[in-house]
Structure 1
């Protein structure tokens, strides 16, 4: 009980005990009804577990219960419940769900006269939220964007609106028409139209390998054989040309392939221009909101960053088929190790250099909590060991950095101090990040030379392409982080203005804290600014919902429109008792 209260944020001294006195049902058969399948998440099926007598044995798991999954195909003639009783339970569950506004976990009993008694009904708390209702026909597939980035936490409402805008623009530049939806505070893309389009469905699996990861790839590959996603001949909807790239894209990719050094220079020049771009913030709430609402597009810079990054991803994806019979997966992975020109690796190495300079202050940094160190740094009370320069270069970053509702390292450097503490514990020189990177880079160059020799011996076009793509992979694949890195400067500007707006609204008594502004959408903020609408009840509700979702430990990588976790549809893996199955990290 204490652990439950602490998890839910309930004070121990604020609870009271209730004692219920009630008439008992003389049950002939009893059990539990879930109005959605708690294992798959499907809202198209309800699940009944039943056993003769009182329902306590079913609830606590001690009785052998009959198990029914009711999906509208008609219950089987078996077990302790008749088909008419199962149908009555299904209809009753639907009514309860409608009245109470959420899928329900119901305890019930039939007495010896055949009367159905409802003993308890409560929400199914473990379900992941279902996709929003849509008028588009048939079952739809939604794939989640955050898991491949390791982003488990939900996105704030302000962050969600900015991300939808950012992703829509990015996907449009690839020729992808994907609808972005908010499900449980996470970003999901509707891939249904691309799944049903004969010209793109098979290429979709390879595309997912680049940007969504192996779990999403396995789901889509499995569902390609599902009749609900069968190709529709002669129809091309908004996402039908999802993977087609136009002349502009082809020109950008060929340009990067021909002159990779010049392509890298364009990428980093564009990043530097964004970093140095002068910004003036308006002074009034109305002007600040107008500035936040305005989306600035600079197509020249988008192309300068996008196509070199895409080229690096494409040449990397091309290596396995080109090197089939020449190199195994481990050898290809070796070529992709110690990758140069990666802004995140360079950031990690810069932090390692800070840690080396901080060695004289080791006792202070390891003996003080990161939160206390962050407060001391912001107050100017720490010695200079290079952290200020690091934050000048990378302070616009943080975990879950694509969400403008999350503090940047420049605002709260506690996570940086936690990482510094980890680096200070590295005492073996051979395990130092710079040495590990140097070894990986040297191994990659040696393996590249070896694989290029093997490819040349093929004396074929494929061999020539393999050697060319191996070299281009080393020169361009490290840029994969550059696109997001460049986009973070625009998000930083937006966050700064959002917080300034929050401070204005707090001064007017419309918000408790300036940070509360992250829990309102732009239309809601417009209503606050223009009409003085009090948003505090909405903010409190959203904060509570956000805190609840922060505790969620499993986020489905793909959902069907009825809420089914698509991974539950995959065939079960066999186990040899020695193999761990999952996504390596």
Structure 2
């Protein structure tokens, strides 16, 4: 709940911008407080004053108005007609209120002491207490009046501004952002009118790329209303703030300009062709403006969106507010002054969502420890966080000449946009990663190189064991999948026991942050050799048979022992159990809980089968990298929803899901035969055929083990979650936390200190709010230390309108009805629908049972969703930007998994 009263309660209706009190946003609103800070810091701001929130509350101290404001909370913000009617009624009531004499007199007095003559004109702008905040700019919601002349007109416009707190947009915005209408107040900024020759906007960080090193300027002639309304296109300017270099200056198309009229108000005038095509600002004016922006940026914490005006060669600032759309800069910052590049751990695992602070600390600790075990450390932190996500610094790899050009290709296998983003950085700024050293500098650096080699050597035995497994995978028959699965399951359970086996709770809670991170990484790596062999075999087959992609894809399908297949087969089996007991099927279709189902006839049989399923897979979860999320054994509602969808929209025949896998297996073997026959041509045909047969044997033998490492690791994740939850329960019982779930919003050191009995001094509500803001952000797969999120242009040559472009990861074409799912634990998919999702980690697996195709916003060829789609023979396209926003449930789409295109049909 926000403070409803300003810090100053003296009843001041008007304060000047240079008054200390004016810096309090509770008194003067966001815009007024920012302008006051600028004015008091010597930034050129037109002189003026604020009609305060005290005046607003006095004016609106009317029972009918207050009742109407309270009634707004009952309106659905999606009901635009209701919002419009209520807003219009409320504004009319406020505009009809008589300005109290004391407020009128205060405004008249302020106007009378204006530094200008009595015939001055004024700019009058609304300044709400919920606007221009770091987390929400709230811009453009209320009224602005320009070139207002005369005391009575100023008083009337002040009242109109106050009424504009209840425009339709403002009402809807507050409702959607859970801001109570009665908690917001509005002040009004009254300033002497600037009649500019030019005006525009300056961003102290590039609002498109996010680069904090770039100042972006838009400049137009006259007042800014012409390019705000779209009647004119302003000049677009980009400057390197550090060096002052002009990066771009694109002249806009300015046919018209809006200018102030002498008698008051504004008018639109035509511009001559010579003026229309000329630059608005000179180089010197650009430099002056950039320097002014840098001063303002230093005054405020976040980068600023600044409105400026140029009159008679002098700049004035008429507004400054935070840029709220920027993705945060990675933290902690590098220890050197050079450019660093980071990739998202979440995107690499097809989980781009925000995680709470304690979970981030687990993964930051793990990342640092795991890379350190192989000597891959640097003076700057390897693991950093930004926007609630964990990123890894790959700058060290980019500085190695032999590896630099390969890094984008390696990352592209995980995610094409990720690889393309790094390639874009190298294309533009590759020279910054090349280090030319003198002989003396090389000799000076030699001890550091020796230390790195020595540290790296510690990991050589593990690398050697992995390479041995890689080589053995291409010789002889593959190990049975049961053997590989047992290796990974035993590993996961052994790692989990090291967490849960400690004596005290404090020791168990400490385990996720202790040597377990190093142990888990080091002991798991040697087991990855055969899986790497399968990936190499896949790449070799695609290179060897570029004209047979369907057969290569088919070879990687049809594995009854493959983990994802078993997860889905198990759900299909549970649906069959329900079909055998009609009362159970009816209860599930009615949305009954597991306990309610058990009470039905045959429910005990279903419950036993379901518990057996949870024994094997209950430690998995949607978004399982986020330890704060419940595992399936804790909340099986998503699994029950998938079974229900199978009952409602399946074909009604038992074991059809197993027949599908058998068909896939037969097709895979037939495809393998065709590839071998293709190879057996020419003089060396028999040799090539034997080679292809062995590569396919390796590929099929080990690609089906791809999910076993995650299955084993999930045991470890669940152990981490269990001990951390136990810590939360203890702290909640001691009164240190309001609820046990608050533990996820502590940092590592805070948690460990609290378990030692030290008091907590943490604002959990603030951290929850920050997490909510991070969760609403779209995280980039790659970000730099300057805050830039590289966004290389997508080649849309020959791409029809209404077609989305991504990465095709599973061939074939399917047309059908889209189902947009954002949370698989709460939503499901009907048989034959095309799944449109933000991501697809293992927790999404049950939805593939009914899907006919896949469209995902993140992922790559080797991401979980791509692998499952190929296994099931579903056309799939991943890395489709904003797919869940641009496609709606019920819309018909055509998915082409070969070309990577998604056509929106209707």
Cα pair 2:388 2:775 within 8 Å, conserved: no
Cα distance between partner residues in 1 of 2:402 and 2:573 = 50
1:267 aligns with 2:484: yes
Cα distance between partner residues in 1 of 2:521 and 2:383 = 22
Cα pair 1:340 1:475 within 8 Å, conserved: no
Cα pair 1:96 1:104 within 8 Å, conserved: yes
Cα distance between partner residues in 1 of 2:626 and 2:599 = 26
Cα pair 1:266 1:305 within 8 Å, conserved: no
SS of residue paired to 2:173: helix
Cα pair 2:203 2:216 within 8 Å, conserved: yes
Cα pair 2:466 2:527 within 8 Å, conserved: no
Cα distance between partner residues in 1 of 2:601 and 2:291 = 66
Cα distance between partner residues in 2 of 1:174 and 1:477 = 26
1:422 aligns with 2:645: yes
Q: Which range moved further: 147-156 or 27-36? A: 147-156
CA deviation string 1:559-580 (max 9, x = no partner)? 2221222223x46442431653
Q: By how many angstroms is 1:217 displaced?
A: 2.6
Q: By how many angstroms is 1:45 displaced?
A: 1.0
Higher normalized helix content (fraction of residues): 1
Q: Which range moved further: 358-367 or 440-449? A: 358-367
Check 1:390–1:246 CA distance in 2 against 1; reply closer, same or farther (3 A cut): closer
In structure 2, what is the equivalent of residue 328 of structure 1? 548
2:232 aligns with one of 53, 58, 63: 63
Cα distance between partner residues in 1 of 2:298 and 2:750 = 28
1:473 aligns with one of 696, 699, 703: 699
In the alignment, structure 2 segments of 5+ residues that lack a partner are 1-169, 252-277, 443-447, 808-876, 879-906
Cα distance between partner residues in 1 of 2:754 and 2:761 = 7
Q: After TM superposition, list the pairs within 5 Å mapping 1:406-417 onto structure 2.
A: 406-417=629-640
Q: By how many angstroms is 1:154 displaced?
A: 0.8
In structure 1, what is the equivalent of residue 397 of structure 2? 194
TM-score for both structures, normalised by structure 1: 0.86
Q: By how many angstroms is 1:501 displaced?
A: 0.7
1:443 aligns with 2:667: yes
Cα distance between partner residues in 2 of 1:27 and 1:337 = 70
1:86 aligns with 2:286: yes
In the alignment of these two chains, the number of paired residues is 574
Q: After TM superposition, list the pairs within 5 Å mapping 1:21-32 onto structure 2.
A: 21-28=189-196, 29-32=198-201
Cα distance between partner residues in 1 of 2:366 and 2:472 = 25
CA deviation string 1:393-447 (max 9, x = no partner)? 1111111101212221222222223322332333237995434433322222111
1:44 aligns with 2:213: yes
Q: Which range moved further: 427-436 or 309-318? A: 427-436
In structure 1, what is the equivalent of residue 470 of structure 2? 253
Cα pair 1:139 1:560 within 8 Å, conserved: yes
Check 1:482–1:167 CA distance in 2 against 1; reply closer, same or farther (3 A cut): farther
Cα distance between partner residues in 2 of 1:375 and 1:62 = 64
Q: By how many angstroms is 1:83 displaced?
A: 2.8
SS of residue paired to 2:759: coil
Cα distance between partner residues in 2 of 1:473 and 1:23 = 73
Check 1:298–1:56 CA distance in 2 against 1; reply closer, same or farther (3 A cut): closer
CA deviation string 1:250-301 (max 9, x = no partner)? 2121233335543744432234435665575668653443444433326895
In structure 1, what is the equivalent of residue 420 of structure 2? 218
1:564 aligns with 2:788: yes
Cα pair 1:264 1:308 within 8 Å, conserved: no
CA deviation string 1:30-63 (max 9, x = no partner)? 2221111111111121111122222233344443
Check 1:275–1:398 CA distance in 2 against 1; reply closer, same or farther (3 A cut): same
Cα pair 2:473 2:698 within 8 Å, conserved: no
Q: Which range moved further: 257-266 or 87-96? A: 257-266
Cα pair 1:313 1:480 within 8 Å, conserved: no
In structure 1, what is the equivalent of residue 721 of structure 2? 495
Q: After TM superposition, list the pairs within 5 Å mapping 1:283-302 onto structure 2.
A: 285-296=505-516, 297=519, 302=524
Higher normalized strand content (fraction of residues): 2
1:106 aligns with 2:306: yes
TM-score for both structures, normalised by structure 2: 0.58
Q: By how many angstroms is 1:14 displaced?
A: 4.2
Cα distance between partner residues in 2 of 1:457 and 1:176 = 47
SS of residue paired to 1:412: coil
CA deviation string 1:99-129 (max 9, x = no partner)? 221111122223x344433222222121111
Q: After TM superposition, list the pairs within 5 Å mapping 1:569-584 onto structure 2.
A: 570=793, 572-577=795-800, 579-583=803-807, 584=877
2:320 aligns with one of 121, 134, 141: 121
Q: Which range moved further: 449-458 or 197-206? A: 197-206
1:54 aligns with 2:223: yes
Q: Which range moved further: 480-489 or 164-173? A: 164-173
In structure 1, what is the equivalent of residue 25 of structure 2? none
In structure 2, what is the equivalent of residue 35 of structure 1? 204
Cα distance between partner residues in 2 of 1:381 and 1:545 = 48
SS of residue paired to 2:756: helix
| Max Rg structure | 2
Check 1:223–1:45 CA distance in 2 against 1; reply closer, same or farther (3 A cut): closer
2:359 aligns with one of 155, 159, 171: 159
2:568 aligns with one of 333, 345, 348: 348
1:73 aligns with one of 245, 250, 256: 245
